[in-house]
Amino acid sequence: MSDAAAAVFAVAETASGKVRGLINDGVRQFRGIPYGADTGGARRFQPPTPPIPWTGVRDCFGPGPVAPQVATPLSHIYAQLIYFDLAPTEGGMSEDCLRLNLWTPGLADGGRRPIMVSLHGGGFAIGSGNAAMYDGARLALSQDVVVVSLSHRLASFGFLNLGDLAADGRYQHAGVAGLMDIELALRWVHDHAAEFGGDPARVMIFGQSGGGWKTSSMLAVPSARGLFHSAAVQSGSWLRFLDRDQGAGLARALLAQLGLGIEKINRLAELDWSDILLAQQSVGALAFSPVITPYYLPYHPNTPEAQALSWDVPLVISTALHDAGLFFNLFDLDETGLGDLLARQYGEAAKKLIELYRGSNRSCYLTHAQIITDAGFRRFAHAQAELASAHAAPVYLYQWEWPSPAWDGRYGATHAMDVSASLGNWRDPLIGAGTQRGRELCASLSAAFAGLARTGNPNNALLPPWRAFDPIKRATLILGGQTEVIDDPRRGQRLFWRDMPPAASVLG
């Protein structure tokens, strides 16, 4: 390669062939590298396999295809803020979706940098690692780390429990195929760490919302133990998988939508993927998630057996103050409307809720969003932190409270604000597109995540001393108008939800 070309292009060797990326400010950027083979046809619903080798040099300048999915409607303003309406167009759509993007300050230079693997949000149904919020260039540049984002199978393509319907065992892993994709990507990262300037002994997985669900899930996968050494779960504490009967019920419903009986289950491999996509939309794409299986995922994440798998993994757990606001558009809600809504949802407990949350927010919409967040997201995050705090490795808790300037602040400290912040991407409109406070929070949180990846400790000079969480003092880093560590913030509200029966904490 000429000197001029070496300043623009970067070439790396993978087990499947050479890849060529671009260099920007010293960061080598590769997009769309295959880490697995096409999952269509006969490979549909099967465990992933390594990519088919290629000859010559493969250009990896742009993102690869994403898993089949349906775009979030343009009318959903919040979804547009996080670019979810663009997800199916960010690289095209195909079952050949096992691709990753990688950013590194150096290639084969002995750098042994921490490797930070970002798992995308969108539940288990939509999204991809190609979205702008997961761009790893700035994190790689500012923190001298290797960053990886990836795409994998989603919804029925990745989490359809056919194993309990087919007697021959052909589909025994279909209910966890999407998690197996992530594990394969982590094995790819481990095997190629040195080539891309990273350290296979310092791999961190992290993700927000659905990415947090996936991170929580990987902590409970026995075969993934040792493939990562620290983790962060942002607004995605996942404590229980689908039982096999629940998963089998969804599979039967999908087969019925396709006009197939169980005796014709093998015809699934012959269908066009678009037919399956349409059928899963009728069943409900959001219903699909990992299924308990004795062959791969034997434990729910909240069991002692699953917890033992991650006893030595330092962990960050978080929520945003108004996480649940993404589910609602009740921006004109008033005091009377809020009282009526809470009475329908929580009965007599509504009066206590009004007392607990009166004056907490500048709008009734945000108060309702905080209440539903506390009932679900935050309740589950506290439960996960309590379980993990018994481990040998520390767990750190934070709460994002700085309100988004987007749409004149109506969304408050909303869901996904800390995604770009954790990667240092200050240009995200959710975090102010370059406002001073937005830049400060991006700098401090990205440094914390890089510190966790590097040493297992997120403390850095941009934060006050961040103590590990324990169930008594419950130290929590607050990222708001100012950054501070508070013991057991909003204790009264937390205790209310701790004492509520589970059925009363669901959205309804």
Q: Which residues are catalytic?
A: 209
Q: Identify residue 237 by its one-letter amino acid code.
A: S
Helices (H), 391-490: 417-422, 436-455
d(CA 441, CA 419): 11
d(CA 198, CA 209): 27
Q: How far is CA 298 from the centre of its chain?
A: 21
> Parallel, antiparallel, or unpaired: how do β-strands 27-34 and 99-104 relate?
antiparallel
Strand, coil or helix: 199: strand
140 and 146 in contact (C-beta within 8 Å)?
A: yes
199 and 112 in contact (C-beta within 8 Å)?
A: yes
- Candidates 60, 104, 97; CA nearest to 193 is 104
208 and 75 in contact (C-beta within 8 Å)?
A: no
d(CA 374, CA 490): 10
Residue 79 to residues 129, 327, 360: CA-CA distances in angstroms?
16, 10, 25
Residue 168 to residues 162, 164, 165, 264, 347: CA-CA distances in angstroms?
11, 10, 9, 13, 49
- Candidates 316, 147, 142; CA nearest to 235 is 316
d(CA 20, CA 10): 6
* CB atoms near residue 487 (< 10 Å): 12
d(CA 457, CA 313): 11
